[in-house]
Amino acid sequence: MEKNLDLSTIFQAVTQQLAENKDTLNQADSYNHNHGDNMVEIFSLVQQAVSQKAEQPISNQLDYASKVVEKEVHSGSGQLYAHGLSNAAKNLTDTSLNEKSIGTLIQSLLGVEKPKPVEQPQSQGDMLGSLLSSFTGGGSSSQQNQGDVLGSLLSGFTGGSSSSQQNQGDFLGSLLSGMTGATASDQQDQGLGLDDLLQAGMAYFASKQDGESNIQAILEAIMAASPMSKSAHRSQSGSMVASTIMNLAKNFLQ
């Protein structure tokens, strides 16, 4: 039976993590010194909002939370997360929240947009195959079409075969498809965003060089593709949001 996650539980964990690091986030905000306070307020409202709509589909819960945050929180971060929640609602219509869709929630919250289709997917696919081969250490023969790109990335991230890591592979694949804007089945038609994938891939490669864990390396790559990374304090809080959801989902799936 497919396991489903609960939005209220997820956002309660996020709120708790932000509250524990509120002072640190306030210090990181060199301008207003209140980013930690704002983040706790935002996700407290989100958690309360989704709880009120717990019996409805997750898209309805997220849409309602977006409207509450937009109305009640007037900070720049509040408006960014209101927009992210709205996008999450649109992207998670007619689905449950599980290892196949958790990545969509994370990338939507953090404002990671799906890339536009490329005009010449075949030539770009060859270029991306070569780049990804250098990131993951794989041979070019395993990346001859875009349908193999996500599999190659996933193999590099997990360090193992799909048969030995099926559940975590689905979870990490969801995160990666969120970053690239395509699933393994539709990459050939849609294409991949070169700029975003380059930035994410470089962040991943740098993280692995530093000896960080696979989850941390993926987190670095996600944040590299997020507009939150343009601000030091938003990047820090966004990393907390993403890592909390990722770790909660990973533990849930074990």
Pair (128, 97) in one structural domain: no
The pLDDT assigned to 102 comes to: 87
Number of domains in the chain: 2
Query: Is residue 244 domain-resident?
Result: no
Q: What is the 3-state secondary structure (H, E, C) of the chain?
A: CCCCCCHHHHHHHHHHHHHHCHHHHHHHCCCCCCHHHHHHHHHHHHHHHHHHCCCCCHHHHHHHHHHHHHHHCCCHHHHHHHHHHHHHHHHCCCCCCCCCCHHHHHHHHCCCCCCCCCCCHHHHHHHHHHHHHHHHCCCHHHCCCHHHHHHHHHHHHHCCCCCCCHHHHHHHHHHHHHHHCCCCCCHHHHCCCHHHHHHHHHHHHHHHHCCCCHHHHHHHHHHHCCHHHHCHHHHHHHHHHHHHHHHHHHHHHC
Query: Is residue 234 domain-resident?
Result: no
The pLDDT assigned to 50 comes to: 98
The residue among 74, 109, 144 that closes a domain is 109
Q: How much is the mean pLDDT over the chain?
A: 74
Query: Is residue 93 domain-resident?
Result: yes
The pLDDT assigned to 21 comes to: 97
| 32-41, 92-101, 160-169 — most confident range | 32-41
Query: Is residue 132 domain-resident?
Result: yes
Query: Is residue 250 domain-resident?
Result: no
Q: What is the pLDDT of residues 109-154, one digit of tens each?
A: 999 876 554 444 444 445 445 544 444 444 444 434 433 444 444 4
Pair (89, 19) in one structural domain: yes
Pair (148, 125) in one structural domain: yes
Q: Which domain holds residue 209?
A: 121-225
Pair (138, 204) in one structural domain: yes
Pair (187, 104) in one structural domain: no
Query: Is residue 251 domain-resident?
Result: no
Query: Is residue 73 domain-resident?
Result: yes
Contact 115, 180 (CB under 8 A): yes
Q: What is the pLDDT of residues 53-97, one digit of tens each?
A: 999 999 999 999 999 999 999 999 999 999 999 999 999 999 888
Q: What is the pLDDT of residues 166-214, one digit of tens each?
A: 554 455 555 555 544 444 444 434 444 545 555 565 566 566 666 666 6
Pair (183, 127) in one structural domain: yes
The pLDDT assigned to 95 comes to: 86
Query: Is residue 17 domain-resident?
Result: yes
Pair (128, 208) in one structural domain: yes
253 band by pLDDT with thresholds 50, 70 and 90: low
Pair (102, 11) in one structural domain: yes
Pair (105, 134) in one structural domain: no
Pair (187, 103) in one structural domain: no
The pLDDT assigned to 154 comes to: 44
Pair (219, 130) in one structural domain: yes
Pair (102, 126) in one structural domain: no
If one compares 81 and 224, the residue with the highest pLDDT of the two is 81
The residue among 58, 74, 109 that closes a domain is 109
